[in-house]
Amino acid sequence: MKIIVCVKRVVDYNIKVRPKADNSGVDIASVKMSMNPFDEIAVEAAVRLKEAGQASEVVAVSMGVAQCQDTLRSALAMGADRALLVETDAELQPLAVAKLAKSIAEREQADLVLLGKQAIDDDCNQTGQMLAALLGCGQASFACDLQVDEDGLTVSREIDGGVQSVRLKLPAVVTTDLRLNEPRYVKLPNIMKAKKKPLERLSPEELNVDVSPRLTLLRASEPPRRQAGIKVADAAELVAKLRNEAKVI
Amino acid sequence: MTTYSAPTRDMRFVIEELAGLGQINALPQYEDASLDLVDAVLEEAARLAGEVLAPLNKTGDLEGARIVDGEVKAVTGFADAYRQFVDGGWNGIAFSPEHDGQGLPALVGTAVQEMWQSANMAFALCPMLTQGAIEAVEAHGSEAIRQTYLARMVSGEWTGTMNLTEPQAGSDLSAVRSRAIPEGDHYLVSGQKIFITWGDHDVAENIVHLVLARLPDAPEGTRGISLFIVPKYLPGDDGSLGALNDVRPVSLEHKLGIHASPTCVMSFGDNGGAVGYLLGEANKGLACMFTMMNHARLTVGLQGLAIADRAYQQARGYARDRVQGGAPGEEGRVAIIRHPDVRRMLMQMRAYVEAMRSVAYVTAAHMDLAHASEDPAVCARHQARVDLLTPVVKGWCTEIAQEITSLGVQIHGGMGYVEETGAAQHFRDARITTIYEGTTGIQAMDLAGRKVLRDGGEAARALIVDMRETLEELQSQSELPAALAPALKASVDALDTAVEWLVKQGPKDPEVAGAVAVNLMMLTGTALGTWQIARGAMIASRQLAAGVGDSDFLQAKIITARFYAEQISPRCEAHLYAVLSGSEATMALADEQF
């Protein structure tokens, strides 16, 4: 089984982001960037399958600016065998990413595509689902458990009411949730070795994918500041306020 | 209690801009150490330090190492953490690939070491001692000993110790009494050693003791001391563990701090003699031990920086949270970080931490250049700088750590004196750093005697020339805070005056060097701090002008440099005044008058 795992370079989860002064977007110039934590879980899952002898190869894929190479090196240090970067300075939206991923999945003849359920920057939660639709294959999003057997996969998914188990045939797309695993501490020798693993660079044009954005960002601004609350004397006053002032009941 | 978050951004700035990673990376031996690789290494080390080691720091303090049925039990969680540390390959970061090390520059090893020491000093002492022991075995071990021990010590599977001190032989090792009697291909070692850090434990499978002892026909004093390697379990030729050697921990010391680091009284040869092997030449043990000591001294200096940064992070967190009193122009009560005096303390901590980091890392970079440059003259020049700076990094950083960890307690007010907040632990843990691996007085004497007087001030003058070069550059940059150039000028002038005075007075009066040495050392450290922080400000200002880098960080760097120049650099002149006062008042009282 050959696995492709998609990793996105995002603003580090420790950073408190700010909108740009002209509200044209979020200021990410010279902010610390790292691998999307959900994608880290996807890489961990892929590497564990490889270590268990259930996967033959793990290929890490990223899309975006040249610095995405650092993110790919992290995936290689965790245990991916090689990496592919679709390099572009263009803004990439989920549909474009899904199209690029489709093209790579077909090119690589991947049996399984693993990716985080969403990225912590735009929180779109769309790419995996779009990719499965484009590939016309099965999908299991929000995976919290993943078992491989001869006929395919059994995936447990976190849903509102609890956990749902689904069976999938390969090829398939699985998006990973927080509780699937805990990514490993990377060993120093593996960080060194990652530098020597192959990393191939492609362009969207080579893959014949039009990545032009379909959505327009109108404005990015700080959320409104929360107003101070008030104390009510009793339940009756609370109900009255909810009914007459907040008009929610 | 706050957690520890490794200051990777400042570390990166110092590594790249001040210590000159590019120059080191250009050497064939360090061609792997590119900036992006170093970045990845720092990030991963920061994770292990913050998530695995730091949470055990308080547990370790509360629980402490124990001795049970004649064996030392490490604190709960330490064995697992140590396994992760070893599995991660971190112990071998700066050792030669020939022995399965990763062969990264000492500069990178130093930054990573800072993280371990900040996260958990008591834990980090164990690998620190192993690393010193590796250097001694690498430099002085026979081929057979190197084969048996090195790879396992580099990986960290076996840990190392340093057995010097005996009850009557502390700073003065000439009084060592432990004995080694030749028997066949080995020696039988007997005697008692005290203050043996991580002398026994259950976190690794074997412990390699390096022991100072005397041969039967050895002359008195330091010229009759030899160094022996004495393993806890005797290894076979294939490295498999054999019989338990005749060495055991007798008891543990009850200490002010670093409770999780077992400080053992070790007994060798209670049942006839511990099997040991000579390391290096007979009667030259002290010189061999110094290979280990010099490494350890720099690392202890780094501990001073590391514990100071941990205390700063802790105090900063508290100052942001703790609400007390009002501040001009603000409604209601405010977090104490709004109060000018609390800010002064935080700035003092921050400025010293940045200065110490710069000085320590620059020293590490000189080590790499001394080690791997091609031209022997270049190597020698860098080695002279390392020799000069080693006692300063050790002495100055650890003394300043006392002040910084004390300020950390102060910012917490009454709660700082209460153990619960964790501020007191850093203060207690820091206290040992000015004592072990040579006290502040010993470091200062090393600087004044061996490093300044012995070469007639030559190495110090070369340093002063370099500092003046920066000063010229600084004076031509107008956009920097006005305080910087005069502060650097005053710092260099003070150092210059002190060195020339000592070179002249030292040979005339045998007591003068000892009496003024600590002030000379503190002056040197403070002046080096001014120098590096000024260099940092210049680079930050250039980056800001070019629009590269994180502007918040760069602006803070410049402001911090200004604070150092205005409020810390002036200490140079105070130290100079003390130096120039000489030894008269220090030596005048009769012993009974004290």
Q: Note whether A32 contacts B: Cβ–Cβ < 8 A.
A: yes
Residues of chain B contacting A, Cβ within 8 Å: 5, 9, 32, 34, 36-37, 39-41, 43-45, 47-48, 52, 84, 87-90, 92-93, 102, 548-551
Does residue A127 sit within a domain?
yes
Select the residue of A30, A32, A77 nearest B40 (Cβ to Cβ): A77
Grouped pLDDT means (10 residues each) for chain B, 594 residues: 88 98 97 95 96 96 96 97 97 93 96 98 97 93 94 96 93 92 96 97 97 95 95 90 96 97 97 96 90 86 98 97 90 94 98 98 97 96 96 98 98 97 97 96 96 96 98 91 96 98 93 95 98 98 92 96 98 98 94 96
**Rounded distance between C-alpha atoms, residue B183 and residue B357, angstroms:** 48
The number of distinct structural domains making up chain A is 1
Cβ-defined contact of B44 to A70 (cutoff 8 Å): no
Average pLDDT over residues A199-223: 94
Q: Is the separation of the CB atoms in B462 and B487 below 8 Å?
A: no
Nearest C-alpha of chain A: how many angstroms from B36? Answer: 7
**Rounded distance between C-alpha atoms, residue B291 and residue B445, angstroms:** 18
Q: What is the pLDDT of residue B477?
A: 86
Nearest C-alpha of chain B: how many angstroms from A78? Answer: 11
For residue B44, the chain A residues in CB contact (below 8 A) are 77, 185-186, 188, 191
Select the residue of B34, B36, B41 nearest A188 (Cβ to Cβ): B41
Does residue A249 sit within a domain?
no
Q: Note whether A18 contacts B: Cβ–Cβ < 8 A.
A: no
For residue B9, the chain A residues in CB contact (below 8 A) are 32
Does residue A204 sit within a domain?
yes
**Rounded distance between C-alpha atoms, residue A221 and residue B94, angstroms:** 47
Q: Is the separation of the CB atoms in B15 and B30 below 8 Å?
A: no
By C-alpha distance, the chain A residue nearest B45 is: A188
Nearest C-alpha of chain B: how many angstroms from A92? Answer: 24
**Rounded distance between C-alpha atoms, residue B113 and residue B256, angstroms:** 23
Nearest C-alpha of chain A: how many angstroms from B44? Answer: 7
Closest by CA position to B530, among listed B500, B486, B473: B486
Prediction ipTM score: 0.90
Residue with tokens 């602006």: B555
Nearest C-alpha of chain B: how many angstroms from A192? Answer: 7
CB contacts under 8 A, A 94-133 vs B, are: none
Cβ-defined contact of A73 to B90 (cutoff 8 Å): no
Q: What is the pLDDT of residue A29?
A: 79
The yes-or-no verdict on residue A24 having pLDDT over 80 is yes
DSSP designation for A17: -
**Rounded distance between C-alpha atoms, residue B527 and residue B467, angstroms:** 9
User: Of these residues, B63, B166, B437, B592, which one is catalytic?
Assistant: B437
Q: Note whether A186 contacts B: Cβ–Cβ < 8 A.
A: yes
Nearest C-alpha of chain B: how many angstroms from A117? Answer: 23
Residue with tokens 């110092």: B14
Kindly list the distances between the CA atom of residue A227 and the CA atoms of A235, B163, B271, B562, in Å, as whole numbers in the listed order: 21, 64, 77, 39
Cβ-defined contact of B40 to A191 (cutoff 8 Å): yes
| Tokens standing for residue B473 | 């550059």
Q: Which of B4, B31, B34, B36 to mutate to test the interface with A (most CBs of A within 10 A)?
A: B36
Select the residue of B32, B40, B88 nearest A185 (Cβ to Cβ): B88
| Tokens standing for residue A131 | 């990719």
Nearest C-alpha of chain B: how many angstroms from A75? Answer: 11
What is B465-518 written as a DSSP string? HHHHHHHHHHHT-TTS-TTHHHHHHHHHHHHHHHHHHHHHHTTT-TTHHHHHHH
For residue B41, the chain A residues in CB contact (below 8 A) are 188, 191
Select the residue of B40, B48, B102 nearest A185 (Cβ to Cβ): B48
Cβ-defined contact of B84 to A185 (cutoff 8 Å): yes
Q: Note whether A70 contacts B: Cβ–Cβ < 8 A.
A: yes
At A187-206, the pLDDT tens digits run 999 999 999 999 999 999 99
Does residue A51 sit within a domain?
yes
Handedness of CA B71, B297, B409, B50 (dihedral sign): negative
Residue with tokens 């049942």: B271
| Tokens standing for residue B338 | 């709004």
At A87-138, the pLDDT tens digits run 999 999 999 999 999 999 999 999 999 999 999 999 999 999 999 999 999 9
Active site residue B437: yes
Q: Is the separation of the CB atoms in A113 and A105 below 8 Å?
A: yes
Q: Which of A69, A190, A191, A199 to mutate to test the interface with B (most CBs of B within 10 A)?
A: A191
For residue B40, the chain A residues in CB contact (below 8 A) are 70, 73-74, 77, 191, 194
Nearest C-alpha of chain A: how many angstroms from B82? Answer: 13
Select the residue of B34, B36, B102 nearest A189 (Cβ to Cβ): B102
Non-local (6+) Cβ contacts of A239 within 8 A are A249
By C-alpha distance, the chain A residue nearest B550 is: A30
For residue B5, the chain A residues in CB contact (below 8 A) are 14
Cβ-defined contact of A187 to B37 (cutoff 8 Å): no
Does residue A18 sit within a domain?
yes
Does residue A93 sit within a domain?
yes
Non-local (6+) Cβ contacts of B243 within 8 A are B233, B234
For residue B32, the chain A residues in CB contact (below 8 A) are 192, 195
For residue B153, the one-letter residue type is: M
**Domain containing residue A32: CATH number:** 3.40.50.620
Closest by CA position to A215, among listed A96, A107, A85, A130: A96
**Rounded distance between C-alpha atoms, residue B189 and residue B175, angstroms:** 17
Handedness of CA A189, A195, A198, A201 (dihedral sign): positive
Please, which residues bridge with residue B158 across strands? B206
Q: How many CB pairs under 8 A join A and B?
A: 51
**Rounded distance between C-alpha atoms, residue B451 and residue B383, angstroms:** 12
Q: Which of B10, B38, B41 to mutate to test the interface with A (most CBs of A within 10 A)?
A: B41
Cβ-defined contact of B44 to A194 (cutoff 8 Å): no
Q: What is the pLDDT of residue A16?
A: 86
Residue B570 CB burial class (10 angstroms; 0-12, 13-18, ≥19): middle
Domain that residue A221 falls in: 2-244
